């Protein structure tokens, strides 16, 4: 089965072609489109599962020695020889399972959510294309194919964010996403060029085998450049600004692309290149610091947002910061673990947002919600489970993954106390803003239009069943990674260990176990405190938040305006580029180039006028000309 | 031997003198007559060189046919006499032209002195020609080596005839 | 035997006189006659060379040149006659219809 791993990306590609090409000229029935798209994903998932089980049959060490499945030569040019090849090892299969599984559930959900939309066929073809690109990214065996997937998911993100292009905001948001991504991709490309120029190959196995030949500065530069790409794709500082705006797209798109899959590509990339990162401690420090700072920065902005999806967007940025913090301190499997659990509960949170929007006819402002748990019970209960997971309450998946990250941030030789502290504070803020959202939306009294409340209804089963599945996963998904101190066996860590084991070295022993338990208790306490605070501020004393915002108006304003980052970027980069372009236009294009071209034209005129002098029309003059010519010829010959 | 030199000098002098006369006469008929004498002198030169065929052709074609045409045309067109002497009417362009032609004369005429001429000798010595007969030799060449030019020359003449007839037709 | 160089000198003289005639004179007829003289001068050079190098090629070439001169004379004079109908006296200095 492993030799057929290339079928996994192929199915969504076929789905894209069928839905995309045929519906150009022929209006396909919605049922057909839905079946094609969803079954493509289902087949992909089954394929991933089959390969996964094949993988499990092998002993641990052999799992990383499976030869890459190579399809054909792709780019053969001079020294560069890349192939379309797929790599089967524990890391890629974990990613493939997560991507195909969550994508499948979201596809099913979308059938219900997008049912009334005229762009139904276009939506599903884009979605299938996206999954194809993402699978190429995670299954690739060389940097170039991974970059193909990298760019491809950026493209699909642009297409899907700007899906409702008739309005003004979505295309602008899509463009912003693509351009900011592009800045990151530039860094990624520089990293690729350096790798190729120093090592002569782009295939993962060969690069990592030869990596020890590089000097430390080169490796640091390469890893930093690759990380720049990751900050663009995974929305870290300073290239995160596109993600909140990306909420203009349909909600299932936000759920799939901007929560579970595309934004995790950066984390996957760092994990995949851990050999390189281990050689560059400076880069790892940068990764961890950026991750931690992003986490707390984004969480702070989520505290005051009033748009349901925006809160979740900032939460995503924050949680991605956790993942980078993990891989930055060397805890690669912890980062991937959190990637997986986050995929479950964040996707679910977004689907719940979609469900709420669907029921309230498009309302997104949480100031106009409330009391929804009576009207939308399934949505409420699934949302609650996901919120508990993300807050890190014991028993739920988020607890195990987040705690592993915090423990590693504290104890790993590359970790630091401050990093852990930032992570802890952010955990508290996470719990706070999630439950602020929960209480404001589902509890209390409805604060919006009464007509809207009257019509509010639960979503149809085609939407709620995927949510229920994801809720179950959000709860039990963490049990594959129960840490040792709690008496469990961390299957997840063990599964990924053949890849990472050389580099992961966590302290064990008596003292450290007690420390780990202590930190665990601390983080749970912080989370419970956050929930309690949210309960106080938004359920018991609803006027308190307003009094607080009036007490510190400046701080509130800064947070409300997201630290004015968008405005700063707009001024420096957008206006700067426009001004530079204007200079080039007036001072160079018009003055220099146009003048030169016109001068050449007038030169022709002058030459013509000069030559016209000889065309007198008199035979006599022509005879003289002949004479002179003959004379010259004679001079030349003799 | 000395006879040859005398004839040569007389003939070439006559040719040059009458050429100069030709370009300086006011009356075009006078110019035509001078040209005829010039052609006849050239024919004498040809005889001196032993090429009777060419000499006869020169007299018949040049001095005969062409000059007859020219005289007829002069009479038809009734060219007027020039007022002033031609040489004095020169402008700046004429002076330049004269200078250039003097240069040309230097190259052409005097360049061969000094022994820079070379070339293979053919195999039609005077004895061979005298034995074969001059016209027969020419005829033989025309019909073998120079057949193509011979035919082309006839085409040129044909074109000339047709052209002249068409050009001189009265407008309908 | 008269040396070839002298014949070439004569030929050059006649040729140059012909050119001067073309440059100086205003009437088309006289220019035409000068051109004919130039052609004849070339013939002298060719025939003299044929004598010195003991081949008949030069003579044949001169003869062909003569042929061309004859047909050219016919056409040229016909053109003069036509021009005379329009311009009443063919003065080359005044005809400049090809002025560009």
pTM, two decimal places:
0.69
By C-alpha distance, the chain A residue nearest B116 is A638
The per-residue DSSP string of C9-66 comes to HHHHHHHHHHHHHHHH--BHHHHHHHHHHHHHHHHHHHHHHHHHTT-SHHHHHHHHHH
C84: tokens are 């005379």
The alpha carbon of residue B80 is apart from the nearest alpha carbon of chain A, in Å, by 20
Q: Is the pLDDT of residue A505 over 90?
A: no
Given an 8 Å threshold on Cβ–Cβ distance, is B141 in contact with C5?
A: no
Topology at the third CATH level for domain C4-87: Helix Hairpins (1.10.287)
Note the pLDDT of residue A510.
Answer: 52
Given an 8 Å threshold on Cβ–Cβ distance, is C93 in contact with A618?
A: yes
pLDDT band at A632 (very low <50, low <70, confident <90, very high): confident
Cα separation, A355 vs A23, in Å, equals 28
The alpha carbon of residue B99 is apart from the nearest alpha carbon of chain C, in Å, by 10
Q: Is B90 on the interface with C (CB under 8 A)?
A: yes
Instruction: Report which listed range, A43-52, A202-211, A608-617, B90-99, is most confident.
Output: A43-52
A283: tokens are 């880069």
Cα separation, B131 vs B125, in Å, equals 10
Q: Is A584 on the interface with C (CB under 8 A)?
A: no
Q: Which carries the bigger pLDDT value, residue B89 or residue B20?
A: B20
Dihedral in degrees, nearest 10, Cα atoms A122, A128, A131, A133: -80
Cα separation, A340 vs A477, in Å, equals 8
Q: Angle at Cα B38 formed by Cα B35 and Cα B41, nearest 5°?
A: 155
Which one of A621, A624, A638 has the shortest CB-CB distance to B111?
A638
Inter-chain Cβ pairs, chain A and chain C, closer than 8 A: 27
- Judged on CB neighbours under 10 Å (0-12, 13-18, 19+), A106 is buried
Q: What is the DSSP letter of A536?
A: I
Residues facing residue A142 across a β-bridge? A203
pLDDT (mean) for B78-89: 62
Note the pLDDT of residue A218.
Answer: 87
By C-alpha distance, the chain B residue nearest A624 is B97
Taking Cα atoms as reference points, which of A279, A291, A131, A315 lies closest to residue A227? A291
Given an 8 Å threshold on Cβ–Cβ distance, is A617 in contact with C96?
A: yes
Residues facing residue A69 across a β-bridge? A86
Q: Which carries the bigger pLDDT value, residue A269 or residue A213?
A: A269
Cα separation, A432 vs A449, in Å, equals 27
Which one of B100, B107, B111 has the shortest CB-CB distance to A627?
B100
By C-alpha distance, the chain B residue nearest A628 is B100
ipTM computed for the complex = 0.89
Centre a 10 Å sphere on the Cβ of residue A218 and count the other Cβ atoms it contains.
18
The per-residue DSSP string of B43-71 comes to HHHHHHTT-HHHHHHIIIIIIIIIHHHHH
Given an 8 Å threshold on Cβ–Cβ distance, is B100 in contact with A634?
A: no
Cα separation, A236 vs A243, in Å, equals 10
Cβ-proximal residues to B128 (8 Å cutoff; 6+ apart), any chain: B137
Q: Is the pLDDT of residue A137 over 60?
A: yes
Q: How many residues are given for chain A?
A: 638
Whether A270 and A277 have beta carbons less than 8 Å apart is answered as: yes
Cα separation, A136 vs A129, in Å, equals 11
Best residue in B23, B106, B118 to probe C by mutation, most C CBs within 10 Å? B23
Q: Is B103 on the interface with A (CB under 8 A)?
A: yes
Residue with tokens 């309450």: A393
pLDDT (mean) for A530-550: 78
Cα separation, A194 vs A225, in Å, equals 9
Cα separation, A517 vs A507, in Å, equals 14
Note the pLDDT of residue B1.
Answer: 77
The per-residue DSSP string of A173-233 comes to HHHHHHHHHHHHHHHHHHHHHHHHHHHS--BHHHHHHHGGGS-HHHHHHHHHHHHHHHHHH
Note the pLDDT of residue A83.
Answer: 86
Given an 8 Å threshold on Cβ–Cβ distance, is B66 in contact with C71?
A: no
Residues of C with Cβ-Cβ distance to A619 under 8 angstroms: 92, 95
Given an 8 Å threshold on Cβ–Cβ distance, is A617 in contact with C93?
A: no
pLDDT (mean) for B93-101: 72
pLDDT (mean) for A575-595: 81
Which one of A627, A628, A638 has the shortest CB-CB distance to B107?
A638
Residue A238: asked if its preceding bond is cis (omega within 30°), the reply is yes
HSE at residue A46, side-chain half, CA atoms within 13 A, is: 7
Which one of B93, B100, B111 has the shortest CB-CB distance to A631?
B100
Q: Is C54 on the interface with A (CB under 8 A)?
A: no
Q: Which carries the bigger pLDDT value, residue A454 or residue A235?
A: A235
Q: What is the DSSP letter of A264?
A: G
Note the pLDDT of residue A350.
Answer: 92
- Provide the residue ranges of all domains of chain C, joining segments of one domain with +: 4-87
Query: What are the distances in angstroms from CA A151 to CA A20, A44, A265, A456?
Result: 19, 21, 11, 40
Whether A234 and A320 have beta carbons less than 8 Å apart is answered as: yes
Containing H/E element for B122?
none
Whether A66 and A88 have beta carbons less than 8 Å apart is answered as: yes
Question: Would residue A365 be called left, alpha or beta, if left means φ above 0 and alpha means ψ between -120 and 50 degrees?
Answer: beta
A240: tokens are 């995160």
Burial of A295-321, coded b for 16+ CB within 10 Å and e otherwise, reads bbbbbbbbbbbeebbbbbbbbbbbbbb
A518: tokens are 């202590």
Cα separation, C36 vs C5, in Å, equals 23
Taking Cα atoms as reference points, which of A156, A159, A44 lies closest to residue A104? A44
Which one of A612, A617, A624 has the shortest CB-CB distance to C97?
A617
Note the pLDDT of residue A507.
Answer: 53
Centre a 10 Å sphere on the Cβ of residue C66 and count the other Cβ atoms it contains.
20
- Judged on CB neighbours under 10 Å (0-12, 13-18, 19+), A57 is exposed
**Considering only A216-230, A351-365, A373-387, A581-595, which range has the smallest mean pLDDT?**
A581-595
pLDDT tens for A76-118 read: 888 788 888 898 888 999 899 999 999 999 999 999 898 888 8
HEC string of A229-247? HHHHHCCCCCCCCHHHHHH
19-38 of C, contacting A, C-beta below 8 A? 19, 22-23
Distance of CA A501 to the CA centre of its chain: 27
Residues of C with Cβ-Cβ distance to A620 under 8 angstroms: 23, 92-93
The per-residue DSSP string of B80-103 comes to PPPSS-GGGG--HHHHHHHHHHHH
pLDDT tens for A363-385 read: 788 888 878 888 888 889 999 99
pLDDT tens for A433-447 read: 999 888 888 887 777
Cα separation, A188 vs A182, in Å, equals 9
pLDDT tens for C27-80 read: 888 989 999 999 999 999 999 988 888 778 888 999 999 999 999 998 988 888
Q: Which carries the bigger pLDDT value, residue C88 or residue A235?
A: A235
111-130 of B, contacting C, C-beta below 8 A? 112-113, 117, 119-126, 129
Helix axes C4-24, B2-24, angle to 10 degrees: 10
In A426-521, the DSSP E strands lie at none
């Amino acid at each position: 089965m492993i030799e057929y791993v290339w079928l996994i990306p192929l199915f969504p590609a076929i789905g894209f072609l069928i839905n995309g090409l045929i519906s150009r000229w022929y209006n396909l029935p919605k049922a057909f489109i839905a079946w094609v798209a969803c079954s493509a994903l289902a087949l992909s998932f089954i394929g991933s599962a089959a390969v996964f089980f094949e993988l499990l049959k092998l002993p641990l060490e052999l799992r990383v020695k499976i030869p890459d499945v190579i399809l054909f030569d792709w780019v053969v040019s001079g020294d560069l020889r890349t192939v379309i090849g797929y790599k089967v090892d524990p890391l890629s299969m974990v990613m493939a399972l997560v991507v195909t599984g969550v994508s499948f559930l979201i596809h099913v959900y979308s059938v219900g959510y997008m049912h009334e939309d005229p762009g139904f066929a276009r939506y599903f073809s884009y979605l299938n294309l996206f999954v194809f690109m993402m699978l190429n990214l995670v299954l690739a065996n060389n940097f170039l194919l991974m970059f193909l997937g990298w760019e491809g998911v950026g493209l699909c993100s642009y297409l899907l964010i700007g899906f409702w292009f008739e309005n003004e905001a979505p295309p602008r948001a899509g463009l912003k996403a693509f351009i900011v991504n592009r800045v990151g991709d530039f860094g990624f490309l520089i990293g690729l060029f350096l790798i190729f120029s120093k090592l002569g190959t782009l295939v993962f196995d060969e690069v990592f085998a030869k990596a020890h030949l590089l000097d430390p500065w080169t490796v640091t530069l390469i890893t930093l450049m690759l990380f720049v790409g990751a900050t663009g794709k995974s929305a870290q500082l300073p290239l995160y600004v596109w993600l909140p705006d990306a909420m203009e797209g349909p909600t299932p798109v936000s759920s799939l692309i901007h929560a579970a899959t595309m934004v995790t590509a950066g984390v996957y990339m760092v994990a995949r290149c851990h050999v390189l990162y281990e050689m560059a401690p400076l880069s790892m420090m940068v990764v961890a610091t950026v991750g931690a700072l992003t986490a707390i920065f984004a969480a702070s902005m989520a505290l005051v947002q009033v748009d349901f999806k925006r809160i979740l967007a900032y939460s995503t940025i924050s949680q991605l910061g956790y993942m980078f913090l993990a891989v930055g301190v060397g805890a690669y499997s912890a980062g991937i673990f959190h990637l997986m659990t986050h995929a479950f509960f964040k996707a679910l949170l977004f689907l719940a947002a979609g469900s709420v929007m669907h029921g309230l006819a498009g309302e997104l402002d949480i100031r106009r919600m409330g009391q929804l748990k009576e009207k939308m019970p399934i949505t409420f209960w699934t949302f609650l489970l996901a919120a508990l997971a993300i807050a890190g309450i014991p028993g739920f998946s988020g607890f195990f993954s987040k705690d592993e990250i915090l423990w590693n941030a504290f104890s790993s030789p590359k970790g630091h106390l401050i990093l852990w502290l930032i992570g802890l504070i952010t955990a508290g803020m996470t719990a706070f803003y999630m439950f602020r959202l929960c209480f404001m939306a589902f509890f209390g009294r409805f604060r919006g239009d009464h007509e809207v409340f009257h019509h509010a209804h639960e979503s149809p089963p085609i939407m709620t069943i995927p949510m229920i599945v994801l809720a179950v996963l959000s709860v039990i998904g963490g049990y594959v990674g129960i840490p040792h101190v709690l008496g469990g066996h961390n299957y997840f860590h063990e599964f990924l260990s053949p890849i990472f084991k050389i580099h992961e070295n966590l302290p064990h022993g008596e003292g450290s176990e007690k420390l780990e338990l202590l930190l665990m208790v601390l983080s749970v306490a912080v989370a419970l405190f956050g929930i309690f605070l949210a309960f106080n501020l938004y359920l018991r004393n609803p006027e308190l938040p307003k009094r607080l915002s009036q007490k510190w108006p400046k701080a509130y304003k800064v947070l409300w305006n997201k630290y004015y980052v968008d405005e700063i970027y707009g001024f420096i980069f957008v206006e700067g580029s426009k001004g530079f372009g204007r200079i080039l236009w007036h001072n160079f294009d018009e003055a220099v180039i146009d003048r030169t071209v016109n001068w050449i034209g007038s030169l022709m005129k002058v030459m013509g006028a000069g030559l016209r002098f000889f065309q007198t029309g008199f035979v006599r003059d022509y005879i003289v000309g002949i004479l002179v010519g003959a004379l010259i010829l004679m001079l030349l010959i003799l | 031997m000395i006879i040859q030199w005398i004839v040569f000098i007389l003939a070439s002098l006559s040719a040059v003198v009458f050429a100069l006369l030709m370009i300086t006469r006011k009356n075009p008929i006078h110019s035509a007559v001078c040209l005829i004498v010039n052609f006849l002198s050239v024919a004498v030169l040809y005889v001196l060189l032993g090429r009777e065929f060419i000499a006869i052709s020169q007299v018949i074609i040049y001095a005969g046919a062409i000059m007859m045409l020219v005289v007829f045309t002069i009479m038809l067109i009734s060219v007027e006499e020039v007022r002033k002497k031609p040489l004095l009417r020169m402008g700046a362009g004429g002076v330049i032209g004269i200078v250039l032609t003097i240069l040309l004369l230097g190259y052409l005429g005097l360049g061969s002195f000094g022994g820079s001429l070379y070339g293979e000798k053919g195999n039609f010595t005077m004895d061979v020609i005298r034995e074969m007969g001059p016209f027969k030799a020419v005829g033989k060449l025309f019909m073998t080596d120079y057949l193509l030019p011979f035919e082309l020359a006839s085409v040129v003449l044909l074109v000339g005839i047709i052209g002249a007839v068409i050009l001189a037709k009265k407008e309908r | 035997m008269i040396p070839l160089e002298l014949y070439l000198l004569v030929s050059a003289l006649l040729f140059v006189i012909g050119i001067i005639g073309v440059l100086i004179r205003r009437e088309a007829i006289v220019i035409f006659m000068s051109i004919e003289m130039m052609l004849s001068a070339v013939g002298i050079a060719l025939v003299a060379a044929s004598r010195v190098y003991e081949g008949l090629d030069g003579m044949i070439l001169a003869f062909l040149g003569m042929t061309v001169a004859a047909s050219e004379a016919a056409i040229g004079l016909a053109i003069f006659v036509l021009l005379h109908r329009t311009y009443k006296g063919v003065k080359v200095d005044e005809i400049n219809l090809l002025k560009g």
